[in-house]
Amino acid sequence: MQKKTVRDINVARKRVLVRVDFNVPLDMNSGAISDDSRIRASLPTIRYLIDHKARIILCSHLGRPKGEVVEELRIAPVANCLSQLIGLPVNAVADCVGQRIENEVRELKQGDILFLENVRFHPEEEANDPYFAQELAQLADVYVNDAFSAAHRVHASIVGVAKYLPAVAGFLMEEELNAMSKLLTSPAHPFACLIGGAKVGDKIDLIQNMLKRIDILLLGGGMAATFLKAQGHEIGHSLVEKDKLNLAKELLREAEEWKVPLILPVDMVVADEIKVNTVTKVVPISDIPPTGCLVDIGPKTVELFSNELRKCHTIMWNGPLGVYEIAQFAQGTRSLAEFLSTVNAVTVIGGGSSAEIVHEMGLTDKMTHVSTGGGASLRFLEGLPLPGVEALPNKI
């Protein structure tokens, strides 16, 4: 997908409004940022604009203030973090539109960085209000969208502004689109999808869209319980989407029709309760007790999945393979993440919790691409358009 990028326009001495997604996790007591990976991901775009003598106006959302000013969700701590990472002052202002902000923008010099207040403090942002979009647009001469992870939102700073300014993609947006597009159009084969997560319903469209493109499908996480139940296995007290059992059977049939091996766990970690420090045991799927809960894939499944993935030249992973939030049930996910960091293949981590796990484990640099987008990545790989991407012009 070839969209115009910041390389394709002259930004020297121009006011450039850059939509980033710096919706980073904040400690509400200290204001500390526990994961700055989204900020680091947009540094190449910001540095390019600095080097090319632009006057930079950043805007982002932070959290879900629902159209009201929430003191704990002000953008200042994020601006401070960016300042430390880039080694330059970043001026965080108290609003994102209005005369005072226009005056601040007027004072910008080449290479200066102004960070607007949390755009979601205004209800007009999520409503994609055209007047609000125009107010943002009049601050700048050019619009750069580097917020792939918010590109599935029809919001004023994502879609609306692009109607009123020359609009291009930033380098992070370009990188995300190139990596995701390659999975859909020209992956190196064999190509495997490793999909986890809690619910089949969340990944139906992803699985159906990828089945015709992949060579192997491996399923784990909570959704595996529904597939195992559909095959007639006992799954104990595990959460089963009863309304998705027929769909699971249909997906099993579709995989067979596409001649794609759909590989499910062969052993599971079972606990009496999903809580810290509970007693667990590993059992083959034929021996799951009626009183147990499935909380992780077992060691034989880790070995099976690793052997299948070792054959592949492209691997896409989306979703944890157990109840990852509890360390005791995270071993299967962590083992496969470690394995993916060592394979001789293109490895694309499909955002959301999978990306958080990779960042937490310090494996980001060992993967080919770790997406910043959770919902956006999922929607893109489902084959659906992203409004924020559609709003940007194609290269001629």
Query: Which residues have a catalytic role annotated?
Result: 38, 199, 352, 375
Query: Apex CA 92: angle with CA 86 and CA 97, to 5°?
Result: 130
With tokens 């960070």, the residue in question is 115
With tokens 């060691």, the residue in question is 299
Nearest to 253 by CA among 207, 222, 197: 207
Whether 198 contacts 256, CB under 8 Å: no
DSSP classification of residue 204? H
| Buried/exposed code over 218-251 (b: 16+ C-beta within 10 A; e: otherwise) | bbbbbbbbbbbbbeebebbbbebbeebeebbeeb
Nearest to 94 by CA among 123, 114, 64, 65: 114
- Tell me how crowded residue 377 is: count the other CB atoms within 10 A of its CB: 30
Q: Taking the CA atoms of 43, 48, 51 and 52 in sequence, report the sign of the dihedral they define.
A: negative
Max Cα-Cα span within the chain: 70
